[in-house]
Each structure stands twice: as C-alpha cells, then as structure tokens.
Amino acid sequence: MLRREILEGVQRVMIALVVIASLGISYAGWLLISPSPGEGATASPATATAPARHSSPTATRPHHPTATPSRTPHPWFPPSPSRPTIAAPKHVGIVSGHRGYDSGAICADGLTEAEINFGVAQRVVALMEHMGYTVDLLDEFDERLENYQADALVSIHADSCDVPGASGFKVARVANSAVPEVEDKLVECLKEEYAAATGLLFHANSITFDMQEYHAFYEIAPQTPGAIIEIGFMGDDRYQLLFQQDRIAGGIVEGIICFLEGEG
C-alpha cells in the first residue's frame, strides 16, 4: 500500500515536470518568433516611408511665394534695342502729305495718297515719341509751318498709280538750301535707312522740280533741316504702302535718327 502511494506521488511529480517543460519550450519558442520591444519602433524603410511617398506634393514641398513680374508687357511700338531713350529730347516735325488740304493722287479704285501718307505719318510720330523725341504731326498747310523751328522736318508723300511698272522711293531737299551740307546728310540718312528697311530701290531719275521747290521748305525757318520723301508708287508698290506701313515708318524713323544722332 505504501509502495503504491509512493509510485502515484512520483507520477504526479513527473507529470508536473512534463507540464513545466512543455510550458518552458512554448515560451522559448514564442520569444524566438516575437519581435523585441525595440524592433517595433524601427520598421522597415518601405513601411516607414510609405506615407510620405503617397502624400500630397504640397505636404512635402516647402512653400515658395509666387514672384510678382517686374516688367510690364511691351507696348505696341517697342523701342529699338540699339536706341536708348534720349536724355534731352530733340524736336522733329512730320508732315502728313495733303492732309487737311486735298486727297493727293487718287487711284482708279478710290485709294488716295492722303490716307496712305497719314497712316505712315501716325506710325512715325508714335515710334519717335515712344523713344523720347518731341514730335509734331503737321498738316500739309499747317499754320505752325510758318518759321517752324526744329532739329528736322520730313514731309511724307506717295507717288501716283498712273506710272505702270514704276517702283521705288525718292528723297529730296530744297534746291537753294541755307544749310546744304546739313540737309544733304538728312537726305542721305533717309535714303540709306529707308532702302534697308523696305527693300525698295531709290528712284533717282524721277525727282521732280516740285519736290525740290516744295512749299514747306520756304515756310520753315531757314536753319531747320527739311526733306520730302515719296515712299513708293501707289501702283506697283501698293502692297508695301498698304500692308507694311510699320516697316515703312520704321525706315523713316531710322533715317531721322541717323541724322539726329550723327550715325550717318
């Protein structure tokens, strides 16, 4: 009887040891497969950076205020890069041929010289004013022409439609000039710059007596350099005269500036 009780006690102890050993083995296995407390705070790079990859660009980029433009848009008549605005404005007179008096030459379809002259003259004035010059837009028989004093005066005209095959431009000064060398320089500057700008040829053989004896030459002050330019023929040069007036005006402006600024 005693022996049986001893055996049962031994069995209980053995069972307890087996249970304890099983629990120990389970706990050891759990420790091996479970992350340590520090490992939970250091997740893999992919996991840690995933929120930043998928976040909105505005959340990850620094804010840069939009800069206010420092320049305004260019005006319609931009100044030439080689022509800085002058400090002391020079004075120029531009006569719009026949304006305020008559139509000038008239083509069969009703196109008039006066309207061509005025379109070009307006552009010349606008260009030069934008560059800082003082400019007067004058009519054909403007009252201001009497003893008019300026650094230069240019009268703008166009040739008729009645000369088939005629093309080109003409420039002239008064025949009996009080300042011939000065006015020759004005004429030469206009010839060179206008030809370069428009591609039209100088039509020297058709300069008329009326051009050299133009009435305004005898009205302005004798010391005011003056020239008259016939910008083209309303027949063969019609396209340029109607649709390239900015180019025509630019050639006249460059010619005047060549004279005023001593570039000729």
Q: Average of pLDDT values for 97-102?
A: 98
- What sign has the CA pseudo-torsion 209, 215, 219, 224? negative
Q: Residue 17's pLDDT band (boundaries 50, 70, 90)?
A: low
Least confident of 33-37, 44-48, 153-157: 44-48
Determine the pLDDT at residue 162: 92
The model's pTM: 0.69
- What sign has the CA pseudo-torsion 39, 42, 44, 47? positive
47 pLDDT more than 50: no
What the block records as the tokens of 260 is: 């005023």
Single-letter code of the amino acid located at 118 = F
81 pLDDT more than 50: no
4 pLDDT more than 80: no
Q: Residue 26's pLDDT band (boundaries 50, 70, 90)?
A: low
> What residue ranges define each of the domains in the chain, with the CATH number in brackets?
91-260 (3.40.630.40)
Determine the pLDDT at residue 23: 60
Question: Is the CB of residue 90 less than 8 Å from the CB of residue 134?
Answer: yes
Single-letter code of the amino acid located at 53 = R
Angle formed at CA 118 by CA 117 and CA 121, multiple of 5 degrees: 85
Could you tell me which of 161, 124, 131 has the C-alpha nearest to residue 247? 124
Q: Residue 240's pLDDT band (boundaries 50, 70, 90)?
A: very high
Q: Average of pLDDT values for 85-114?
A: 93
Instruction: Identify each DSSP E strand in 97-151 by its residue range.
Output: 134-138
